Chains A and B, each alone.
Chain A
Amino acid sequence: MSLKYIIFWVLTLITFLVIIVIFSLTLGVAGIPAGKMVSVFLHGPGSTEYSIIFDIRLPRIILAFAVGGSLSLAGVLLQGMFRNSLVEPYTLGISGGAALGVSISIVLGLAAISRFTFPLFGSLGASMVIGILYLLSLKKVRINLQRLLLIGIMISFISSSLVMLLMSLSSMDSLHGIVFWIMGSLAESDGTLIQIMLAASLGLLAVSYLFCHHLNAFALGEEEAHHLGIPVESTKRILFLASSLLTGFCVSAAGMIGFVGLVVPHFMRRVVGHDHRILLVSSFLAGAIFLIVCDTVARIIIAPVELPVGVVTGIVGGSIFVYALAKEDIS
């Protein structure tokens, strides 16, 4: 791995990102052509177009950037530790756990206390599921994938049943809160929450990057990683905590968005290779690009009605998941 290779891909992806962001800014119910955008910028605040771009579309794109990058990064981290490319927050039931955590906080009426309530409960729910998965399967030398995925699906079922249980028992107000939030969307009005999400995603990317050699060594198996001087258990704990936080924050900010952590790393491994020194950053950026594209599609495909972005990623990602699983069976 050379520095040039890493810089090349990071710059390429950032270029892509900028193009996609400009595209996404111009598209919507009120079309603002790219040419007109320049004059909007030059005139500064005041015009309707300016507030559409800076108050509505840009915050949403920033949130999509942070959530897409985080989900994709969480996918890479989990895949690295489980040595399997089919695990990710959604397929392992971690998103489901986060959703359950957030629902509990709504029912308990804690949402009003602080804007950190959702991220906190979401992360708690996510780490609970990771803890269960860890106890059930990670201690084993060779992980049985079918077993792991089944456990993940069951955890998803159990959490969604528990969410429904909460819904059926809760008051009209909380019910409305849960439904509104589960539908999920990247249209977040709270600017501070978007800033927190962005800071958390970039911060956790930096933390994860410190463990890029550890993740590369994990590819050889935990015992081999130990032979290379990697403190296996503490590394796993830190990276599991990081993926719980990433998933918890994403789910609390944007609801259930599935398969980003599966599709993007899968694609990036083919493009840039398996080395985590490039895979972590490139998957983050590509995840951001992927979710911005999906959200733009969700916004405009049957405008003025908006699709939940999870629907778009679910259809695209689910199909790729089935394809990848079928291929894995053959080989």
Chain B
Amino acid sequence: MLEIEALTCGYDKKAVVSSVSVEVKSGEFFGVIGPNGSGKTTLLRALSRVIQPMSGKIFLDKKEFGSISLQDFSRGVAVVSQLFPLAQLTVEEFVLLGRIPYFGRMQFIESRHDREVAYQCMELTDVLRLKDKPIQHLSGGERQLVQIARAFTQEPKLVLLDEPTAHLDITHQVAIMDLLKKLVRELNLTVVMVLHDLNLASEYCDRLTLISQGTVYKTGTPWEVIDYRVIEKVYQTVVVVNQNPISAKPHVLIVPGEELIKNKRG
């Protein structure tokens, strides 16, 4: 589905991500994790074509990015970024913007089909009840849902998300991730998301890639990547990894510095 081959990219000729190679399979729920400043978001921006590769190639369904027109690309790939727009729009207007990739040059009004898709996506994300509300009046969790509704309105095959659960409480974290997982299964999509929270990544993602200093440190299943030796090396922090008794996924526990000192003495 998505193949990244020896990708190097960054800003103003300074490489932030260097020679990253990752393959994401169709239907996968794929997580990108790594410490702050490791290049996760930069990688995602290269995948969404906001920045161009300095070297290396990215393929979507065997087609190289450069050979796909921007409009076709936006019909296949939707992006949920971290920034929430300041625009003064209602939820419905905002979600309908997701149909822009499908408008012809002389089509000014959305068709009945466009409207149906948007309503369906609002229903799936449970924001239809908010459709006339200005987006600036939404709560953090609602904002995220509305962004997801807009992304799905693009009817993409691949959805890229940059920390979709940032600043949310656990209720909303679980709600958003459950919803994404459900939608991905039902609509047969592929998801690549940057996640900060190792435990969320471990619980939800089929596979993970751990980025450290701009390169891939390890790619694999949660059990392969969320290993205390790997995490301690990359994050330079002592952790304990055990198992979630219900989901049987690895779970990372942090250890306060003070406890470490006590433990050594004892």
Contacts and interface: CB of A to CB of B under 8 A. Distances in A.
B98 A228 contact: yes
Nearest to A226: B50
A220 B214 CA distance: 29
Contacts of B50: 223, 226-227
Contact of A220 (B74, B87, B106, B109): B87
Nearest to B80: A227
A178 B178 CA distance: 69
Interface string B63-87: 0000000111111001101010111
B81 A223 contact: yes
Nearest to A277: B108
Contacts of A213: 100, 103, 108
Given A2-B109, A219-B87, A229-B70, A224 B81 contact: yes
Contacts of A6: 109
Contact of A1 (B71, B73, B98, B109): B109
Given A3-B109, A217-B100, A229-B100, A275 B71 contact: no
Given A1-B109, A227-B79, A274 B87 contact: yes
B35 interface: no
Nearest to B70: A229
Interface string A147-161: 000000000000000
B138 to A, nearest CB: 15
B50 to A, nearest CB: 6
B101 interface: yes
Given A1-B109, A83-B86, A274-B89, A228 B97 contact: yes
Interface residues of A, number: 25
Given A274-B87, A274-B89, A277-B109, A226 B100 contact: no
A33 interface: no
A27 interface: no
Nearest to B77: A227
B46 to A, nearest CB: 13
B220 to A, nearest CB: 29
Interface in A1-15: 1-3, 6
A217 B100 CA distance: 8
A219 B109 contact: no
A83 B87 CA distance: 8
B162 to A, nearest CB: 11
Interface string A189-218: 000000000000000000001101100110
Contacts of A228: 74, 97-98, 100-101, 154
A231 B74 CA distance: 11
A217 B74 contact: no
Contacts of B143: none
Contact of A275 (B85, B86, B93): B93
A221 interface: yes
B113 interface: no
A230 interface: yes
Contacts of B169: none
A209 B75 CA distance: 23
Given A83-B86, A220-B87, A229 B109 contact: no
B88 interface: yes
A1 B92 CA distance: 10
B83 A221 contact: yes
A212 B86 CA distance: 19
By Cβ-Cβ distance, the 5 closest A-B pairs, closest first, are A229-B74, A219-B87, A220-B85, A227-B79, A229-B71
Interface of A: 1-3, 6, 83, 209-210, 212-213, 216-217, 219-221, 223-224, 226-231, 274-275, 277
Interface of B: 48-50, 70-75, 78-79, 81, 83, 85-89, 93, 97-98, 100-101, 103, 105-106, 108-110, 154
6 contacts: A210-B105, A210-B106, A216-B100, A217-B97, A224-B79, A226-B50
Given A220-B97, A228-B74, A228-B98, 15 more contacts: A2-B109, A83-B87, A210-B106, A213-B108, A216-B97, A219-B88, A221-B85, A226-B49, A227-B50, A228-B101, A229-B73, A229-B75, A231-B70, A274-B88, A275-B93
